[in-house]
């Protein structure tokens, strides 16, 4: 079992390494100027603009400077805490 498991770990590691190398080598499908923009910009807003429609500012606009980073970090931290709390509740304490 231990031998099988370590073989599998080595294979998984090799596969991941190969995958990451392929990802890094392959040329991106979008021009360099648009790299790492979300598909909302590169697809949704691009085609909407072509058809004469543009995105409006959100009702509560948190997309200003580092404010968006802050709200995303808070959302991730709170969401992560809730997920961890319920995971522990599910796996350690039987409710019924």
Out of 10, 14, 18, 86, which residue is the one contacting other proteins (CB under 8 A)? Answer: 86
Q: What's the sign of the alpha-carbon dihedral 75, 60, 33, 38?
A: positive
Residue 81 token pair = 């805490």
Q: Does 28 bind other proteins (CB under 8 A)?
A: yes
Give the C-alpha separation, 46 to 34, whole Å. Answer: 11
All residues at 6 or more sequence positions from 26 whose CB lies less than 8 Å from its CB, including other chains: none
Q: Residue 42 burial (CB < 10 Å; 0-12/13-18/19+)?
A: middle
> Is 14 an interacting residue with respect to other proteins (CB under 8 A)?
no
Closest CB 20 distance from other proteins, rounded Å: 6
Q: Binding string to other proteins for residues 66 to 85, with x set by CB under 8 A, is what?
A: --xx-xx--xx--xx-xx-x
Contact residues for other proteins, defined by CB under 8 A: 1, 4-5, 8-9, 12, 15-16, 19-20, 23-24, 26, 28-30, 32, 34-48, 51-63, 68-69, 71-72, 75-76, 79-80, 82-83, 85-87, 89-91, 94-96
């Amino acid at each position: 079992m231990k031998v099988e498991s370590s073989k599998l770990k080595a294979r998984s590691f090799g596969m991941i390494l190969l995958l990451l190398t392929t990802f890094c080598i392959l040329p991106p499908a979008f021009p360099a100027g648009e790299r790492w923009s979300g598909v909302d910009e590169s697809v949704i807003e691009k085609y909407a603009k072509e058809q004469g429609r543009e995105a409006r500012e959100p009702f509560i606009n948190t997309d200003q400077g580092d404010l968006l980073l802050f709200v995303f970090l808070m959302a991730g931290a709170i969401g992560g805490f809730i997920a961890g709390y319920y995971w522990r509740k599910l796996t350690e304490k039987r409710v019924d």
